[in-house]
Copies of this chain bind each other. A is one copy, B any other.
Amino acid sequence: MSESKTNSDLSFDFDFLDKLVVGIGEVSQITGIPPRQIRYWEEKGIITSLTEEEGKNRRYNYENIKKMLLIKELLDEGYTLDASAEKVKNRMKMIEETLNKLQNKKD
């Protein structure tokens, strides 16, 4: 009785989002960014993955994916990769805060 999981409708699933961690192939399909490019961005430190150990497959969460989509948009607008990454930082903070508020609505 300690936790309620009525889950009556999709109201919406922030615990689902929290568990959502996917591989590079899925991210590529979702975002339209080729795997090779995703690896390159990560190699440059523009994005990070949740990968446990070297050699194991890369893992990305919702925030990672969101970030890639934002960077992609800015690149299309003509920003450089570094400039895009810098600009996206602020947006990411807002997204993080929003997610936190929605998840730990403890008050």
Provide the bound-state CA to CA distance between A69 and B69, in Å. Answer: 28
Q: Using a CB-CB cutoff of 8 Å, which residues 1-29 of chain A contact chain B?
A: 5, 7, 9-10, 12, 16, 19-23, 25-26, 29
A30 touches B26 (CB 8 A): no
Interface of A is mostly: helix
A-side interface residues, number (CB < 8 Å):
24
A residues 57-98 touching B (CB-CB < 8 Å): 65-66, 69-70, 73, 94-95, 98
On whether the beta carbons of B20 and A23 are closer than 8 Å, the reply is no
- The answer to whether A73 touches B10, judged by C-beta atoms less than 8 angstroms apart, is no
Beta-carbon contacts under 8 Å, A30-79 to B? 30, 65-66, 69-70, 73
